[in-house]
Structure 1
Amino acid sequence: MKGQTRFGTKGKLAPQYIGPYDIIEKINPMAYQVALPLDMELMHNVFHASMLWDYLRDPLHVIKSTHVLLSDDYMYEERRNQIVNQRIKKLRNKDIPLLKVDWQNHGAIYVTWEREDDMKKKYPELFPLDPTFFSEEDV
């Protein structure tokens, strides 16, 4: 398996098993057709029985689906919910101001550190006209 990619990841830490997915059809005693998500639509959806594991039902294990509004070209816009925190990353020769942003289109809490100048370009309405909005004392 050297050099093979498995589920979009290359290397020995790639996931070997993914799921659970519903079985659509039993083709023969050893082959099953599985309902795969849209991001895996290029993968063949018929698997040998040895590649499938039984799913042990757990009443506490409930998978919630999230609905995302897509445009005509199947893209969606990430919208920031709020700026949670800020800091300045110090490198050898320069300082990079960073903002911790909470994003809206995710079911769970999803926060990332973004560069302040990138956020000012994408979302100018977040920043007031006052240049001292983010001062050194707040960091």
Structure 2
Amino acid sequence: MVGQVAYELELPKYLAVVHPVFHVSILRKFIGDPSLVVSADTIMVKDGFTYEKIPIAILDRQVCKLRTKEVASITVLWRSQKVEEATCEAEEDIKSRYPNLFEEQAD
């Protein structure tokens, strides 16, 4: 404990760039499942490696009415993710980046 509302955490060496002091409001109790832990050495990540999220389905569509306009949002299911991990995105943003996703929905 650094102060009344801050804790200094002991972080692994690969997180050396992260400041180790955190406010208590962002800390949560965590009970991990050791069977789900994968060693970073096992994965063999390459420098410069990037990951692109690819949408595979639109699960839901909603229109929020603001004072002067309506904004459409969609729930997107991404490749290699569970349905519970689907995210809410602005429809126009997804439509401009992934127009083929909407062509499939029209069928």
Inter-partner Cα distance in structure 2 for 1:80 and 1:111:
10
Question: Could you say which residue in structure 2 is the equivalent of 1:97?
Answer: 72
- Offset of 1:98 from its aligned partner? 0.8
- Gapped runs of 5+ residues in structure 1? 3-11, 19-33, 45-57, 134-139
Which deviations, in whole Å up to 9, do the C-alpha atoms of 1:33-67 show, x marking residues without a partner? x88274x13259xxxxxxxxxxxxx9x93342479
Question: Could you say which residue in structure 1 is the equivalent of 2:58?
Answer: 83
* Larger Rg belongs to: 1
Question: Could you say which residue in structure 2 is the equivalent of 1:61?
Answer: 33
TM value normalised by structure 1: 0.46
* Code of the aligned partner of 2:52: E
How high is the sequence identity, in percent, across the aligned residues? 24
Change in Cα spacing, 1:107 to 1:122, as seen in structure 2 (3 Å) is: same
- Offset of 1:93 from its aligned partner? 0.4
Structure with more relative contact order (C-alpha pairs < 8 Å, separation 6 or more): 2
- Offset of 1:103 from its aligned partner? 2.1
- Gapped runs of 5+ residues in structure 2? 20-30
Inter-partner Cα distance in structure 2 for 1:105 and 1:79:
9
- Alignment counterpart, residue 84 of structure 2, candidates 101, 104, 109: 109
User: What SS is found at the alignment partner of 2:96?
Assistant: helix
Inter-partner Cα distance in structure 1 for 2:49 and 2:8:
28
Query: By percentage of residues, which structure has more helix?
Result: 2
Aligned pair count?
90
* Code of the aligned partner of 2:12: L
